[in-house]
Chains A and B, each alone.
Chain A
Amino acid sequence: MIDKTVQDSSLSSSQLTKTVLSGDQPLTILKAVDLDIKAGESVAIVGASGSGKSTLLGLLAGLDVASDGQVTLLGHDLSAKDEDARAAVRAQGVAFVFQNFHLLPGLTALENVMLPLEIRGQMANRDIKAEANRLLTGVGLGQRITHYPNQLSGGEQQRVALARAFAGQPKVLFADEPTGNLDSTTGAHIETLLFELNEKSNTTLVLVTHDETLAARCQRQFRMADGVLAEVSI
């Protein structure tokens, strides 16, 4: 499925380390993580609670700064950039899906999906609306576009969040427990949508999950234990 011409690694890290102060004791959450993910790959990171998965995801996406080591995202060395420059990298095509869906309560489903497109400002307003409408229809919510988040169920909210993440055809999509709060049927629905995106538009998928079946659908799997990352050979 992978287009051979974009084989360049779209995400990599070397010796990525995160140390935080817990009380006055330094606590190393990530220990020299090396990772190399090609464009269009789907990757799962599994591991026990508290092992450092979310921390790693945050660093890979440039949401946080590492204590040591390097991250390269879409060809940019994130460790050399400040917050705003990292934001500029994200603007080029990075999207997120989170466990708690982070929809804006004051905006309708449609407006929530329109937001990243509006922020990137690459399309005319009319097109943005049409595109958001199309994306919502794509996740099966075509009839619910004027509903507010509190009028939607958890699964429906997560689907809106997915539609929002799909907006603008991201090159890398990070997801932290995207099905964590959902029942298995709904979760499966979300998974299907995720992998469709991955396949159809060659989006790199980085998933943090507890869900073994979800992990199993990914091309590669990593296991995090106490801050140490190891690839699980399938």
Chain B
Amino acid sequence: MSTDSTSETVHYQPAPISGSHAVPGMGRWGELKLSLRLLVREARSGELTLLLMALVLAITVSTGISLFSSRLELAMQANANDILGADLRVRSSTALPDEWLTQADKLDLTRARTLTFPSVVLSESPGNESMSLAAIKAVDDGYPLRGQLLVTDSTDVPGTDRSQGPSVGEAWIEPRLLALLNTQIGERISVGENSLLISGVVEQESDRGGNFYNLSPRVMVHWNDVADSGLLGPGSRVTYRLLLEGSADELEQFKAQLNLDPNQKFESLDDGSRAMSTSLERAKQYLSLAAMMAVVLASVAVAISVRRYARRHFDISALMRTFGLQQGQIFRIYTWQLFWVGILAAILGAALAWFLQVALLSILADLVPDGLPPASILAWAVGLCSGFVSLLGFGLPHILPLARISPLRVLRQELQPVPLSGWVLYAFSLATLTGLLWVFTSDALLSLGVMLGGSATLLVLLGLLRGVIVIIDKVLRQRQLSLAWRFAWQHIQRDQTAAAGQVLAFSLTLMVMLVIGMLRSDLLADWQRSLPTDTPNVFAMNIQPFDRESLLSSMSEEGIEPEDLYPIVPMRLTSVNGTEISELEIRDEGSIDRDLITSSANFLPDNNEVVAGDWAKTQAGPNYVSLEVDLAERLGFKLGDILGFRAAGVDFTVEINSLRSVDWASMTPNFYMMLSPDVMASLPNSYLTSFYLPDNQDASLTRLIKEFPGVTFLDTRFLITQLQSLLQRITLAIELILVCVLAGALLVMLSVLLTSTRERLTQGALLRTLGASKQQIRRSQWVEFGLLGGLAAIFALLGAEALCAGLYLGLLDIPYGGLGWNWLVLPPVTILLIGGVGTLMLRSTISQPPLQVLRE
């Protein structure tokens, strides 16, 4: 054989060396191209698929959450004044003073009035006894000033923007109320003693605000239908608002001229968004935490995949060094490769993230405002970047040794690069995660705490698990094991940390799913169960003294036995020990920034316990008040402090002389403040009571509502249903993210598996040349992954039992019945899942002919 290969033109002309480190021909641009070319070639072998999947998961989850939060936040900020519905808004719990109106008119401000309150609405259609709690909003002819009010007259025509509210005698209602009342446009409903025609359906109400925290559906009516009706007795929970529009100057002037009472307030958007926060903000937090779990697991899978990738490229890297590449170039080439994978993952992840946030928003549709603006570019950037941060934080440390490999490896195979010390690696990863968490929660201290606490806990758990593996090892060693078990255990035993890590990842994920599942199904059910069956479920509020006797007799006619009747008066804290509240630090406390519903201390309510002071003296008076102990602690009030209040325009002072603990979970009326009877007697009061309404007696309630339109009946069964559906939605959203977490755990397992496939292939092939059957090898794999799955399930169950018991008994104070049937179901399911996936993943180790394996 002869060759003419070298006789032709000499292509290679060594360039003169300029500077000792120059490599001819291969600039930064060349590195970039080479990295891409190598990557494309390697991608064919499926080498990077798992890394790509892990990155896509991390990016999908982090971007999805980022988009979700961004859209919510933007909705809060966008068109601030539209959401306010005005340039300036004043709120009052009592009727708007006439001076305000004349003042506004004098300044030539455009104005509108609204008043909102909760009330029960009834269907008036014949044979339809449906009722629902609703958020009534009465608007005058000036409404709306700003923003959108989309209303449709017919459910199959899209709504149009209205410049006026409903006419007298008509009501516009939210679509879901149509369903709740089983009624339609053109039918009638009653609100208090008014019968109203449903003439429209409200599709969007940009100044709704209440949408966020008030779960009741909207009924919009004309001002005149409500303002003079009996619905609004003193003490009913009405909020009046004056909406104003005009030049900044005039508004300033108006603001300056107004003397606000303690129960009156200028509203800014902040108040609104703060109010919305609670449930949505909570949901957002849980989602972010769950999302973080998925990102952590995906990052671990990234680390494992990159490490494996790097290890498989030691030879190539050493070889490229013999071709003359420098350390820095090798490092950059592989970093570029990671980057390319990152770009691809970002594209796929971004698309999936978009769907994820759409899914989240539609699950939480009742909670979020309509017509959300699109997410900001920043949100996209933050989400996508966090994917890259995880890639670099978890991937780069493993690329470093690849560059540091000695080219001598081509002669001496056993040479390994000096790996980065474990500490550096973990510190890098931990810092990365803390950074990511910080972005998610925007709370640096919390992130650091969670990360340090979390990794400490994980370390302890990991140690514990390794201990368990060692113990099992001891036990197994003394036994005569079958071949399948011996090989299975040998694999687990070989890398205890990896095995413990996988078990930990699965058990943590399963544990969280168990706990959430428990909470979802049990929380409200348990709570309801824990209440005696005849626990009051309807509150009757706003009972005027003149209605009192007739209401009581009507109730007994209906066979309803009311609980105790409490005289109540709404009042506002004005001073503490002679100092005006506005000068105290507690002035912004939510609990005093509103009317406190207060009762008289005629008797001690059932679930109350006096923990300090002298209740008998409070009862005897004069001028004492008893406080709920937690509130007192929060505000720093002590026995003997003198509190000043204003109720119904009357100012008075009382001395704290007893503190009570209150069981808020009981469905009986509870009060922060209880006044000595003598004080109460000097104030105009209404009454409040509660009663138990059996399920089949809805008609009685309907009759009572119709007979006493001024009394507000609050049917807590509605509230519980609403709460339940809210909880259901939030947990559903979290479960959606948890599916991603589970995917992360599976990716971790797969990437760990992949690192050992080579070894397994060789071992399997060797075993088979020695005469082992495929069946035997497959059985050994089933045993191995079944064991991992079984261990994970048991740890998950133990952890969930502990966590649930702690949550139920400690935090929620409800009885805990254990996980029960989960103990029977989870282990076999997990064994099947993990055993199945593991065996499936490794099926090539069995199906490949031994010769082919040994040749590679």
Is B771 an interface residue when CB atoms closer than 8 A count as contact? no
B21, A85: Cβ atoms closer than 8 Å: yes
A91, B325: Cβ atoms closer than 8 Å: yes
B1, A106: Cβ atoms closer than 8 Å: no
Q: For the complex, give the distance between the alpha carbons of A188 and B402 in Å.
A: 36
Chain B interface main SS type = loop
A120, B1: Cβ atoms closer than 8 Å: no
A168, B12: Cβ atoms closer than 8 Å: yes
Give the residues in chain A near B11, CB-CB below 8 Å.
122-123, 127, 131, 168-169
Q: For the complex, give the distance between the alpha carbons of A193 and B14 in Å.
A: 23
Q: Mark B32-52, 1 if CB is under 8 A from A, else 0.
A: 001001000110110100000
Question: In the complex, what's the smallest C-beta–C-beta distance from B581 to chain A, in angstroms?
Answer: 73
Q: For the complex, give the distance between the alpha carbons of A55 and B676 in Å.
A: 99
- Stretch in A8-16, A32-40, A56-64, A220-228 with 4+ CB within 8 Å of B: A56-64
Q: For the complex, give the distance between the alpha carbons of A134 and B315 in Å.
A: 26
- Stretch in B408-416, B782-790, B826-834 with 4+ CB within 8 Å of A: B408-416
Give the residues in chain A near B455, CB-CB below 8 Å.
none
Is B2 an interface residue when CB atoms closer than 8 A count as contact? yes
A116, B323: Cβ atoms closer than 8 Å: yes
Q: For the complex, give the distance between the alpha carbons of A95 and B856 in Å.
A: 24
Is A218 an interface residue when CB atoms closer than 8 A count as contact? no
A88, B12: Cβ atoms closer than 8 Å: no
Complex partner residue of A63 from B5, B15, B21, B408, CB under 8 angstroms: B408
B41, A107: Cβ atoms closer than 8 Å: yes
Give the residues in chain B near A122, CB-CB below 8 Å.
11-13, 15, 24-25
B316, A54: Cβ atoms closer than 8 Å: no
Give the residues in chain B near A100, CB-CB below 8 Å.
413
Number of interface residues of A (CB under 8 A): 58
Is B406 an interface residue when CB atoms closer than 8 A count as contact? yes
Q: Mark B322-357, 1 if CB is under 8 A from A, else 0.
A: 111111100000000000000000000000000000
Contacts A88-B17, A201-B6: A120 and B22 contacting too (C-beta < 8 A)?
no
B23, A87: Cβ atoms closer than 8 Å: yes
Q: Mark A65-109, 1 if CB is under 8 A from B, else 0.
A: 000000000000000010111011111111110101010111100
Q: For the complex, give the distance between the alpha carbons of A171 and B12 in Å.
A: 10
Contacts A119-B323, A134-B5: A91 and B10 contacting too (C-beta < 8 A)?
no
Complex partner residue of B24 from A83, A92, A107, A196, CB under 8 angstroms: A92
Question: In the complex, what's the smallest C-beta–C-beta distance from A13 to chain B, in angstroms?
Answer: 16
Q: For the complex, give the distance between the alpha carbons of A127 and B7 in Å.
A: 17
B323, A84: Cβ atoms closer than 8 Å: no
Give the residues in chain A near B407, CB-CB below 8 Å.
63, 83, 87
Q: For the complex, give the distance between the alpha carbons of A5 and B326 in Å.
A: 32
Is B320 an interface residue when CB atoms closer than 8 A count as contact? yes
Give the residues in chain A near B4, CB-CB below 8 Å.
138
Is A118 an interface residue when CB atoms closer than 8 A count as contact? yes
Give the residues in chain B near A156, CB-CB below 8 Å.
none
B17, A98: Cβ atoms closer than 8 Å: no
Contacts A63-B322, A123-B11, A127-B11: A106 and B47 contacting too (C-beta < 8 A)?
yes
Is A147 an interface residue when CB atoms closer than 8 A count as contact? no
Complex partner residue of A119 from B20, B325, B412, B856, CB under 8 angstroms: B325
Contacts A150-B856, A196-B6: A119 and B41 contacting too (C-beta < 8 A)?
no
Q: For the complex, give the distance between the alpha carbons of A197 and B5 in Å.
A: 8
Is A217 an interface residue when CB atoms closer than 8 A count as contact? no
B325, A87: Cβ atoms closer than 8 Å: yes
Is B30 an interface residue when CB atoms closer than 8 A count as contact? yes
Give the residues in chain A near B34, CB-CB below 8 Å.
118-119, 121
A192, B1: Cβ atoms closer than 8 Å: yes
Is B767 an interface residue when CB atoms closer than 8 A count as contact? no
Is A2 an interface residue when CB atoms closer than 8 A count as contact? no
Question: In the complex, what's the smallest C-beta–C-beta distance from A201 to chain B, in angstroms?
Answer: 5
Give residues of chain B (156-198) contacting chain A, Cβ–Cβ below 8 Å.
none
Question: Closest residue of chain A to B4, judged by CB?
Answer: A138
Question: Closest residue of chain A to B327, judged by CB?
Answer: A84
A176, B411: Cβ atoms closer than 8 Å: yes
Q: Mark A174-202, 1 if CB is under 8 A from B, else 0.
A: 00100000000000010011001100110
Give residues of chain B (452-494) contacting chain A, Cβ–Cβ below 8 Å.
none
Contacts A91-B325, A150-B855: A166 and B6 contacting too (C-beta < 8 A)?
yes
Give residues of chain A (134-151) contacting chain B, Cβ–Cβ below 8 Å.
134-135, 137-140, 150
Is A111 an interface residue when CB atoms closer than 8 A count as contact? yes
B326, A88: Cβ atoms closer than 8 Å: yes
Question: In the complex, what's the smallest C-beta–C-beta distance from B783 to chain A, in angstroms?
Answer: 30
Question: Closest residue of chain A to B328, judged by CB?
Answer: A84
Complex partner residue of B26 from A58, A121, A163, A192, CB under 8 angstroms: A121
Give the residues in chain B near A104, CB-CB below 8 Å.
315-316, 319
Question: Closest residue of chain A to B14, judged by CB?
Answer: A92
A120, B41: Cβ atoms closer than 8 Å: no
Give the residues in chain A near B315, CB-CB below 8 Å.
102, 104
What range describes how many residues of B lie at the interface?
A: 35 or more
Q: For the complex, give the distance between the alpha carbons of A192 and B8 in Å.
A: 18
Question: In the complex, what's the smallest C-beta–C-beta distance from A163 to chain B, in angstroms?
Answer: 8
Question: Closest residue of chain A to B407, judged by CB?
Answer: A63
Is A214 an interface residue when CB atoms closer than 8 A count as contact? no
A138, B3: Cβ atoms closer than 8 Å: yes
Give the residues in chain B near A163, CB-CB below 8 Å.
5
Give the residues in chain A near B406, CB-CB below 8 Å.
63-64
Complex partner residue of A200 from B6, B47, B410, B855, CB under 8 angstroms: B6
Q: For the complex, give the distance between the alpha carbons of A227 and B4 in Å.
A: 39
Complex partner residue of A88 from B20, B41, B852, B855, CB under 8 angstroms: B20
Give the residues in chain B near A61, CB-CB below 8 Å.
322
Q: For the complex, give the distance between the alpha carbons of A158 and B328 in Å.
A: 29
B37, A118: Cβ atoms closer than 8 Å: yes
Question: In the complex, what's the smallest C-beta–C-beta distance from A20 to chain B, in angstroms?
Answer: 11
Q: For the complex, give the distance between the alpha carbons of A193 and B410 in Å.
A: 21
Q: For the complex, give the distance between the alpha carbons of A104 and B490 in Å.
A: 31
Give the residues in chain A near B42, CB-CB below 8 Å.
106-107
A98, B6: Cβ atoms closer than 8 Å: no
B12, A120: Cβ atoms closer than 8 Å: yes
Complex partner residue of A102 from B20, B22, B324, B410, CB under 8 angstroms: B410
Contacts A139-B3, A150-B856: A119 and B26 contacting too (C-beta < 8 A)?
yes
Is B398 an interface residue when CB atoms closer than 8 A count as contact? no
Question: In the complex, what's the smallest C-beta–C-beta distance from B48 to chain A, in angstroms?
Answer: 10
A120, B408: Cβ atoms closer than 8 Å: no
B41, A106: Cβ atoms closer than 8 Å: yes
Give the residues in chain A near B806, CB-CB below 8 Å.
none
Give the residues in chain B near A94, CB-CB below 8 Å.
322, 324
Give the residues in chain A near B411, CB-CB below 8 Å.
54, 57-58, 63, 98, 176
Q: For the complex, give the distance between the alpha carbons of A116 and B324 in Å.
A: 9
Complex partner residue of A87 from B6, B319, B326, B413, CB under 8 angstroms: B326
A193, B23: Cβ atoms closer than 8 Å: no
Is B321 an interface residue when CB atoms closer than 8 A count as contact? yes
Question: In the complex, what's the smallest C-beta–C-beta distance from B318 to chain A, in angstroms?
Answer: 8
Contacts A102-B315, A106-B44, A168-B12: A139 and B326 contacting too (C-beta < 8 A)?
no
Q: Known A-B contacts: A84-B327, A100-B413, A106-B44. Give 20 more (CB < 8 A).
A: A57-B411, A63-B321, A83-B326, A83-B327, A87-B325, A87-B326, A89-B17, A89-B324, A90-B323, A91-B23, A92-B17, A98-B411, A102-B319, A106-B45, A119-B324, A121-B24, A121-B25, A169-B11, A176-B411, A197-B6
Q: A-contacting residues of B (Cβ < 8 Å)?
A: 1-8, 10-15, 17, 20-27, 30, 34, 37, 41-42, 44-45, 47, 315-316, 319-328, 406-408, 410-413, 852, 855-856
Q: B-contacting residues of A (Cβ < 8 Å)?
A: 54, 57-58, 61, 63-64, 81, 83-85, 87-96, 98, 100, 102, 104-107, 111, 115-116, 118-123, 127, 131, 134-135, 137-140, 150, 163, 166, 168-169, 171, 176, 189, 192-193, 196-197, 200-201
A-B contact list, 15 entries, CB within 8 Å: A58-B412, A84-B21, A84-B328, A87-B321, A88-B324, A90-B321, A102-B319, A105-B45, A106-B44, A120-B323, A121-B34, A122-B11, A138-B6, A166-B5, A200-B7
In the A-B complex, the 10 residue pairs with the closest CB atoms: A91-B324, A138-B5, A121-B25, A138-B3, A84-B326, A200-B6, A168-B12, A90-B324, A85-B20, A92-B14
